Amino acid sequence: MKTSLLAGNRRPESRASRCFTVAVATLLIGAAPRASGKAAVAIATPLYEVDVRSSVDQWEGFKKKPVIEHGKLFYIAGAKQSPSGVSLVNPVNEAAMLEELRMVLKKRGFVEAVGDQTPQIVLTVMYGRGLLKNPYLEGGSFSESPTTNTPNQPPSLTIPGAWALILNKEHEPGYQAKMEKGNMEKLFIHVMAWQYPKPAKGKPKQLWKTTMIVDDPENRDLNLTYKEMFASGAAFFDRPIEVEEEVSLSTPTGHVEVGSPTVVESPDKRK
């Protein structure tokens, strides 16, 4: 995200928000064969899973501070697609996505700065598709963003003496599967909070960052998933997560008509 969004100590001017309606695809469950004495049975099947990663600035020099709340009064500076060089299924309606973020923030107790109010945090959003840092490969040094020349290459990884720790954790239930899943291409949204006013010297200070991720970006339209991604990640805004949290989502409940069983005689017995 361009740091010019955060430059200077002058509060950004407030902007009017526009509401957009985004159609969300739903899974329809077909009707069962006809039968007598029908009874409705509710069925919910998994839609997909959102993985959430979140970090909070707890460092002052070399000293780790306790986790503190960084303020609820916010201003959204804007959204930008990650320069990964990998195309999304469809262009994202950024205005609608940011409006959804506002709604989710307010449900979590955040308040948007208006008029002469000075925000406590400035939020920026970066979204896209690509290979991200694998949180299950601890102790490594990563280059997370692929170049435009090699958009499908995985992030470079250097692990100095960390293999013993990783091999030990491989024996934990499900760890190997999570580690392999972490190497797959993702559809992601980063929500980042910055200190405001910005420090008088140096770069803008990031206070917290929450990343919401879904798999199979080649077949997922971010316009149809950002609502669920924000809803899954909102509980972790300004909260650290050690590795990541997995939030399973389900389709809207459908109904299947189930009838009473009927015994049908074989043709031989009817003779």
Q: Following DSSP, what letter does each residue of 217-230 receive, concatenated?
A: GGG--GGGTHHHHH
234 close to 50: Cβ distance less than 8 angstroms: no
Which residues face 126 on adjacent strands? Answer: 80, 190
- SS3 assignment, position 233: helix
Element at 268 (helix H, strand E): helix 267-270
CA 187 to CA 217: how far, in whole Å? Answer: 5
Domains of the chain: 43-131+184-203+210-239 (3.30.160)
For residue 197, cis peptide bond before it (omega within 30 degrees of 0):
yes
188 close to 132: Cβ distance less than 8 angstroms: yes
- First-last CA distance in the chain: 80
Task: Give the pLDDT of the chain (271 residues) as one tens digit per residue.
Answer: 444 445 444 444 444 333 322 332 322 223 333 334 444 444 444 457 999 999 998 666 667 777 778 999 999 999 999 987 789 999 999 999 999 999 999 999 999 999 999 999 999 999 999 988 887 776 544 445 454 445 555 554 444 444 445 555 655 677 677 777 777 899 999 999 999 988 778 789 999 999 999 999 999 999 999 999 999 999 999 999 988 898 887 654 444 455 666 665 665 655 5
Answer positive or negative: Cα dihedral of 177, 181, 183, 189.
Answer: negative
216 close to 188: Cβ distance less than 8 angstroms: no
158 close to 186: Cβ distance less than 8 angstroms: no
